[in-house]
Amino acid sequence: MSGSSTPRVLLTGFEPFGGESVNPSWQAAEAVAATPPPGLSVTAVQLPCVFGESLTALRSAVAEVEPDLVVCLGLAPGRPGITPERVAINVDDARIPDNAGAQPIDVPVVPGGPAAYFSTLPVKACVAAIREAGVPAALSNTAGTFVCNHIAYGLGHLIATELPHIRGGFVHVPWAAGQVTDGTTASLPTETVAKGIRALLLAAASTHDDLRVTEGATH
């Protein structure tokens, strides 16, 4: 990412879903936008947790912000750290209804689109940067098949077909501290997640070629 002007970042999070009163992805996005990393202009936009409508909202936000970098955040219950997603697949297969009551089963995100899109973020460099900031992180190879993957794939399609000059990808965050009370489910304070996302954004904005390090998985 180059140029004399300050790079513009669009950072999205989701509205609450599944009966929760808050969504950690939006809490983190708001916190990062309120105190952005140095040298970056960050605009936070909340997306509806609704198939279709969420992509419409994302497209509108991209058109308004005209970002150089797009990072979409979502909640991954049970994951212990921040997990940049490597790939999104072209299928909506909802285990639970979205916030509009829709529950698509084996429906393509984009009819006729490719089977998958890889993130255009330097995902391994992002993981390393988050860890260097003292925040747990790992590379993920599945964004699920709910609205998070829907947005991840839709963003990939938008970049590939219309906006190849921007970079973007999807990142999952864990429960916020205070949302879980069983003492065993993983969670992180919102400011800790925000700290990790700030490090991710700086890495994404400054890294052209990703790190060639092992972040693979056997399952």
Burial class (CB in 10 A: 0-12, 13-18, 19+), 9: buried
What per-residue confidence (pLDDT) applies to 2? 46
Amino acid, single-letter form, for residue 161: T
Q: Which residues of the chain have pLDDT under 50?
A: 2-4
What per-residue confidence (pLDDT) applies to 4? 45
What per-residue confidence (pLDDT) applies to 198? 98
**Domain 8-206 architecture:** 3-Layer(aba) Sandwich (3.40)
Could you tell me the residue ranges of all domains in the chain?
Answer: 8-206
Is residue 104 within 8 Å of residue 93, measured between CB atoms? yes
What per-residue confidence (pLDDT) applies to 216? 87
Tell me the catalytic residues.
Answer: 85, 148, 172
Amino acid, single-letter form, for residue 146: F
Q: Model pTM?
A: 0.95
What per-residue confidence (pLDDT) applies to 1? 52
Strand-pair partners of 11: 44, 71
Place of tokens 């979409």: 72
What per-residue confidence (pLDDT) applies to 21? 87
Helices (H), the chain: 24-34, 53-65, 123-132, 147-161, 190-206
